[in-house]
A and B are shown apart, each in its own frame.
Chain A
């Protein structure tokens, strides 16, 4: 279990990026952090990745405190960040130094097959399209068999069709080892497609505004009604988070329930 308690991050210039974040993510749960720009989503992810230090509070993975990159935590960035001097296969194998040759090869081959790039192992990253490169980056994180996988808007630079196919590749890989996933996104559709729970964040300073369970059956049909209504609920919560004058989300929901009742 991934546990964030009273997490805050204040930068040297006094900017408060995050304040008092409390969040628990169950094993194998997929959580989407969603919110407008400047709400600290990426900062939060970088703290969990151990790339930055929290100013206060703690991050624990199965009881172990994280303050530097942890072997069981993987991350996929917004850009593929492949190493241009390594072939596609060598990029995927980048973190597998500790394995012997055969096992390394087998794992890489399997991952490349899962992302549909089995034929591309010997090519250079620059020969791939943006979507293909991002798939390789996802494979590079998955072959490490992380307990926690962090995704920092990994699909935001891609067109809608490529994005949808990448969602499938991602879920295909996820099924195998079922890591805990924390996904940062500003795309509500994406959150509802992938996540078990949406965490709505609010900016200045970054904090959690509300969370919504997205208990839809998988595979999710984006044209189906429950999907539509889940998207609408997340959008409504986002609207509220952007409009601070409104009542608290809990009260809002009570009022909705009351309205239905009457």
Chain B
């Protein structure tokens, strides 16, 4: 952390949103800094293990039937990509996540805003939502299949439920934790309720809202797998199940890698897209 970040946090009591912003928008200062060779150290372990295993299989020390060597996984991934199969599956999965995320996050933001800004509504809504949250979301699967059928609707619904709760909690919590002293500044300048929301509450909750959306998106990726296990004819989750039933561990690992790449890409896209909103919070800080 450089001196800049430390100047005002203790004085203004903004330490938590500031920390929040570090997560919301990983430091752009990294770009300005000279490239740090130590970052490469992180590659040492995975690449080393992959090379060792590759060598072990290559020289016949291991069969690599259940744990295929990296080269075979890459070949499988390449084959899937070449036939276009990978894109079919990936786009099916991404579409489900997108639909579920939009519905779940939209509802989470709306309900979170209501519950965060009105004490009465919070007393009405929050206990029920907390109770629902305690249910493992997978437990909804049979019900969703009965209600919505076995096709897309039930999958999207499951993902939406998974996304909803972290977003709801994050938004409501962010609104509740807005610095009362800044709200008072709004009162001194005689802002109307709408203006207070737009000029003070909204910018104050944005960093935490971005984090809420990011954890919602992460859960979206988690639940899409569960949803596709429910019975799908396409999607990366289908590739996983198919790989298990056909005894093709390379296909399972290829699908897992595709998941990892897509998940990271979607998260980066979200961070990148929301960065202008939280630019003021860019804290020069070591990235984890």
Interface positions of A (Cβ within 8 A of B)? 49, 51, 69, 71, 74-75, 77, 79-86, 94-95, 124-130, 133, 157
CA distance A71 to B206 in the complex (A): 29
Task: Verify B188–A49 contact, CB threshold 8 A.
Answer: yes
CB distance from A68 to the nearest CB of B (A): 8
Mind listing 14 A-B residue pairs with CB under 8 Å?
A: A69-B188, A77-B184, A81-B181, A81-B182, A83-B200, A84-B8, A84-B14, A85-B204, A85-B281, A94-B185, A95-B189, A126-B9, A129-B7, A130-B11
Residues of B within 8 A of A77 (CB): 181, 184
> How many residues on the B side are at the interface (Cβ–Cβ under 8 A)?
24
User: 3 closest A-B pairs (Cβ-Cβ)?
Assistant: A85-B280, A85-B203, A95-B189
B128 CB within 8 Å of chain A: no
CA distance A79 to B204 in the complex (A): 17
A76 to B, closest residue via Cβ: B188
Q: Is the interface of B mostly helix, strand, loop or mixed?
A: helix
A96 to B, closest residue via Cβ: B189
Task: Verify A83–B8 contact, CB threshold 8 A.
Answer: no
CB distance from B211 to the nearest CB of A (A): 16
Task: Verify A83–B203 contact, CB threshold 8 A.
Answer: yes
B120 CB within 8 Å of chain A: no
Within 8 A of A (CB), among B130-181: 181
Report B184-206 CB contacts with A as 1/0, cut-off 8 Å: 11011110000000011001101
Task: Verify B281–A84 contact, CB threshold 8 A.
Answer: yes
CA distance A84 to B205 in the complex (A): 12
- Of the residues B4, B185, B204, B281, contact of A81 by C-beta under 8 Å: B185
Task: Verify A126–B187 contact, CB threshold 8 A.
Answer: no
Interface positions of B (Cβ within 8 A of A)? 4-5, 7-9, 11-14, 181-182, 184-185, 187-190, 199-200, 203-204, 206, 280-281
Task: Verify B203–A126 contact, CB threshold 8 A.
Answer: no
Residues of A within 8 A of B189 (CB): 69, 94-95
CA distance A94 to B198 in the complex (A): 13
CA distance A133 to B7 in the complex (A): 11
CB distance from B161 to the nearest CB of A (A): 32
CA distance A75 to B181 in the complex (A): 13
Residues of A within 8 A of B185 (CB): 81, 83, 94
B206 to A, closest residue via Cβ: A85
CA distance A81 to B181 in the complex (A): 7
CA distance A81 to B187 in the complex (A): 13
A79-B188 CB under 8 A given contacts A126-B7, A127-B7: no
CB distance from A228 to the nearest CB of B (A): 33
Task: Verify B187–A133 contact, CB threshold 8 A.
Answer: no
A80-B12 CB under 8 A given contacts A69-B190, A74-B188: yes
B179 to A, closest residue via Cβ: A81
CB distance from A77 to the nearest CB of B (A): 7
Residues of B within 8 A of A129 (CB): 7
- Of the residues A51, A82, A95, contact of B184 by C-beta under 8 Å: A51
Task: Verify A79–B11 contact, CB threshold 8 A.
Answer: yes
Task: Verify A71–B190 contact, CB threshold 8 A.
Answer: yes
CB distance from A76 to the nearest CB of B (A): 10
- Besides A71-B190, A126-B9, 14 new A-B residue pairs in contact (Cβ under 8 A), listed by A number: A69-B187, A69-B188, A77-B184, A79-B13, A79-B181, A82-B12, A83-B185, A83-B200, A84-B14, A84-B280, A85-B280, A125-B8, A126-B12, A129-B7
Task: Verify B181–A84 contact, CB threshold 8 A.
Answer: no
B8 to A, closest residue via Cβ: A126
CB distance from A138 to the nearest CB of B (A): 14
Residues of B within 8 A of A49 (CB): 188
CB distance from B287 to the nearest CB of A (A): 19
A75-B12 CB under 8 A given contacts A83-B200, A85-B203, A85-B281: no
Task: Verify A51–B181 contact, CB threshold 8 A.
Answer: no
Task: Verify B187–A51 contact, CB threshold 8 A.
Answer: yes
Residues of A within 8 A of B206 (CB): 85
A157 to B, closest residue via Cβ: B11
CB distance from A217 to the nearest CB of B (A): 34
CB distance from B154 to the nearest CB of A (A): 41
CA distance A74 to B55 in the complex (A): 75
CA distance A71 to B182 in the complex (A): 18
B282 to A, closest residue via Cβ: A124
CB distance from B195 to the nearest CB of A (A): 8
- Of the residues B5, B12, B188, contact of A84 by C-beta under 8 Å: B12
Residues of A within 8 A of B14 (CB): 84, 126
Residues of B within 8 A of A71 (CB): 190
**Residue of A51, A74, A83, A85 ringed by the most chain B CB atoms within 10 A:** A85
Residues of B within 8 A of A86 (CB): 280
Task: Verify B182–A83 contact, CB threshold 8 A.
Answer: yes
Task: Verify A133–B281 contact, CB threshold 8 A.
Answer: no
Residues of B within 8 A of A130 (CB): 8, 11
CB distance from A184 to the nearest CB of B (A): 15
B4 to A, closest residue via Cβ: A127
CB distance from A27 to the nearest CB of B (A): 21
